[in-house]
Amino acid sequence: MRWTVLDSPIGEFSVATDGTSVCGTHFGRVADAVDEPVDDLGRQAVAELRSYFAGALTGFTVPVRIPRGSDFERAVWREMTRIPYGETLTYGEVASLVGDPGAARAVGVACNRNPVPVIVPCHRIVGAGGKLVGFGGGLDRKVHLLELEARVALEHAWS
């Protein structure tokens, strides 16, 4: 894996590529991250992330590969990618969508284990009643991402 770090409105953000896909993201700088991507895929991932953070990109096209996770976690991560930009679902709603309505807490664990946050948008999953609970990157980052997407979605709806 090759890690690249970029500055973003939520602080340093690292992205890992393996030559064929994005296989990890991380809030902060990863120890061996470089400041400039070394291949076309890394450049595409960094460009898409910068565009997303600027409010110009509402859907990632970079290929993603998640090399680990239980079947349940993979189902949750797949469901995350189906949540439309600017919208949210609750942990309970996601649990029902993956076929286990009583597994809201397990959905939270899967969110915490998401190896590709932002691109696989775990920030779009909220607590019952829309409460902002838990986020591996910190609630301040979750709020920033949700506010960014809400603002951009509203601008698109009204333009």
How far apart, in Å, are the Cα atoms of 22 and each of 58, 61, 116?
A: 17, 11, 8
End-to-end C-alpha distance for the chain, whole angstroms: 41
**How buried is 114 (Cβ within 10 angstroms: 0-12 exposed, 13-18 middle, 19+ buried)?**
buried
DSSP 124: G
Task: Tell me the residue type at 71.
Answer: D
Residue 61 tokens read as 């096209």
**Six token digits for residue 12:** 């340093």
122 is known as an active-site residue:
yes
Which of 6, 122, 125, 126 is catalytic? The answer is 122
Helix (H) or strand (E) holding 152: helix 139-158
| 89 φ, ψ (degrees, to nearest 5) | -130, 160
Token reading at 157: 């709806």
- The catalytic site residues sit at 122
